[in-house]
Amino acid sequence: MVKEMTGDELKSMLKSNIHFKSLDGLKEPGLKLTDGQLEPWRAMKLGLFIHWGLYSILGRGEWAMHNEKIPAEEYAKLKEQFNPKYFDAQEWAETARNAGMKYMVLTARHHDGFALWDSPGSYKNYTSMNSPAKLDVVDAYTRACREAGLAVGLYYSPMDWRFPGYFQPRELLDNALLMKKQCHDQVEELVSKYGRIDIVWYDGSWLAHKGTDPDGAWLWDPITLNKMVRKYNPQTVINPRSGWEGDFFCDEGSHPVHGQIVPVPWEKNMCLGSGVSWGYLPGDTVMTLPEVITMLVNVLTRDGNLLLNVGPDPEGRFPQEMVTRLNELGEFTNKYAESIFGTRAGPLQPVDDVFGTVYQDNKIYLHILDPQAFAGIDLEIPGYIEAADVLTGGSVTVEQTEDRQTIKLGKLKPAVDTIVRLEMREAVKPLVFDKYELHRSK
């Protein structure tokens, strides 16, 4: 269980290179999901992020309009080129499912303002339905997710570069309020027209590219916005990027994950590619399979979810090398699913670059990244180990006294992640986090 803590308290506890945005979002009694309501999302562990829009046509990143100072009128002409011949939402969902992913998050609308659905609230009808494609991407996507058994997530950016009021919200308040109205209208469309939306993923609530998401709350009114989301689905999981504190925290970017178990629900968001761009980038490099597995292990053993991003090309296809990598990841996650999905981090703190633990019921899984370094570590797990085996191949023996164990690895099959399963005599007790210390529940 987790006690409420302020942003400063959380910063003091992390002792890691994890960087959370919007730590001090607005709070509202009763709006945040309970631990129990959030548990299904935490059990999913792995999801697919998809950045796709007009910027994919340019292939220079989702910030191209702003970074290259392309006038809104000029950029809007890209809408007439939006006619993806190979878009297949079912193929997207199948790729995610093959990778072992349990949820997806699609950029329904990014900072450029182009909406990937039939949106009456869109300023100047700037939508995929009003393009040569005549396509409601969100409708196809949500249906495909459900058919594949995946939880449905939608990304939405309140900000819109087409509005001068975004850059000068107090000076051009009427224009900024028009942008706000678009935001509230469009979010209501997304959560009311397409069935159950499991995850709402905001981004870009800061104003004039300055400050933080909570700094923009005076304009966006995120409490009202998210109460509206709850009206349509009381158990939608919401991230913190609207200015309200949200149900979980986000660590964005490709930097490594080290440090202790994180005492709050959180998600690592990163690109399967180089990280230079979230949107399609021709010829982008792709993470190796060992890099992906290592990141997944480091996130799991610190009690987080991993949301991996892919940017489809202008025709709606995932880059082939990324599909290959996701299929390889699926071979790993499907084979060792019991040590990944539905687990929680603990009962031991991870040792950076060496090992970490997760548990479920009476089983503990050691995810060992460096077997040689692990060999010199004694463990202190409450309870008695009844049996031990190496899921990834090899032998293991256990020497134990009361609350202390020595795990001796024998000959191992080469693996990026050596997974040892320990079967305990009794169920593993969950961790309890206090402000300054970590201890186990009684």
**Looking at residue 23, what is its pLDDT?**
76
Same domain for 271 and 368, yes or no, is no
Q: Residue 40: which residues within 8 A CB-CB, separation 6 or more? A: none
pLDDT of residue 245: 95
Q: Are residues 115 and 198 in the same domain?
A: yes
Distance CA 52, CA 253 (A): 18
Best CA proximity match to 275, nearest among 295, 259, 260, 258 = 295
Mark whether 64 and 30 lie in a shared domain. Answer: yes
The 3-state secondary structure of 105-119 reads: EEEEECCCCCECCCC
Please report whether residue 58 resides in a domain: yes
Whether residues 52 and 198 fall in one domain: yes
Task: Name the domain boundary from 339, 362, 388.
Answer: 339
The DSSP bridge partners found for residue 306 are 46, 268
Q: Are 215 and 112 within one domain?
A: yes
With respect to residue 2, please indicate whether it lies within any of the assigned structural domains.
Answer: no
What secondary structure does DSSP assign to 382-441, as a single string?
SS-EEEEEETTSEEEEEEEETTEEEEEEEEE---SSEEEEEEESSPPPPEEE-SS-EEE-
Total domains, the chain: 2
> What pLDDT does 437 receive?
37
In 362-384, which positions are buried (b, 16+ CB within 10 angstroms) versus exposed (e)?
Answer: ebbbbbbbebeebeeeebebebe
CB-based burial, 4-25: b 16+ in 10 Å, e otherwise:
ebeeeebeebbebebebbbbeb
Quick one: 92 and 185 in the same domain? Answer: yes
Please give the helix or strand (H or E) that residue 8 lies within, else none: helix 7-14
Token pair for residue 158? Answer: 């309140």
Contacts of residue 147, defined as CB under 8 A and 6 or more positions apart, other chains included, come to 90, 93
Confidence at residue 434, expressed as pLDDT on a 0 to 100 scale: 53
Sign for the CA dihedral angle at 244, 246, 251, 252 comes to: negative
Q: What CATH number does residue 373 fall under?
A: 2.60.40
Residue 162 buriedness (CB in 10 A; 0-12 / 13-18 / 19+)? buried
For residue 134, the model assigns a pLDDT of 98
In the numeric block, which tokens belong to residue 261? 């178990």
Find out whether 117 and 151 touch, Cβ atoms under 8 Å. Answer: no
**Considering all CA atoms of the chain, what is the largest pairwise distance in Å, rounded to the nearest integer?**
72
CATH code, 168:
3.20.20.80
44 and 108 both lie in a single domain: yes
Q: Which of 94, 202, 84, 179 minimizes the C-alpha distance to 132?
A: 84
| Domain span including residue 361 | 346-430
Q: Which of 323, 339, 355 is the last residue of a domain?
A: 339
Amino acid 3: pLDDT: 37
Read off the amino acid at residue 8.
D
Q: Specify whether 254 is located in the same domain as 379.
A: no
Buried b (16+ CB within 10 A) or exposed e, 67-78: eeebebeebbeb
82, 193: one domain: yes
Choose among 310, 280, 314: nearest CA to 86: 314
Partner residues linked to 199 by β-bridges: 153, 237
339, 362, 385: which is the final residue of a domain?
339
CB 235 within 8 A of CB 32: no
**Nearest one of 387, 366, 388, 385 to 377, comparing CA atoms:** 366
Gyration radius from the chain CA atoms:
23
Token code pair at residue 106 = 């699609």
pLDDT attached to residue 16? 55
Q: Reply yes or no: is the peptide bond before residue 347 cis, omega within 30 of 0.
A: yes
Say if residue 324 is in the same domain as residue 221.
yes
> Residue ranges of the chain with pLDDT lower than 50?
1-6, 8-10, 12-14, 435-442
Residue 402: predicted pLDDT: 76
CB under 8 Å to 44, separation ≥6 — which residues? 102, 103, 151, 305, 341
Q: Do 381 and 266 share a structural domain? A: no
Residue-wise pLDDT for 397-432, tens only, equals: 999 987 789 999 999 999 999 999 999 999 998 876
For residue 275, being part of any structural domain is answered with yes
Cα–Cα nearest to 266, from 38, 15, 25: 38
Looking at the domain assignment, is residue 274 inside a domain? yes
> What 3-state DSSP class applies to 300?
helix
Domain-located, residue 439: no
Query: How far is residue 298's CA from residue 304's CA, in Å, rounded to a whole number?
Result: 9
Q: Which of 110, 80, 74, 72 is nearest to 277 (CA)?
A: 110
Are 368 and 246 contained in the same domain? Answer: no
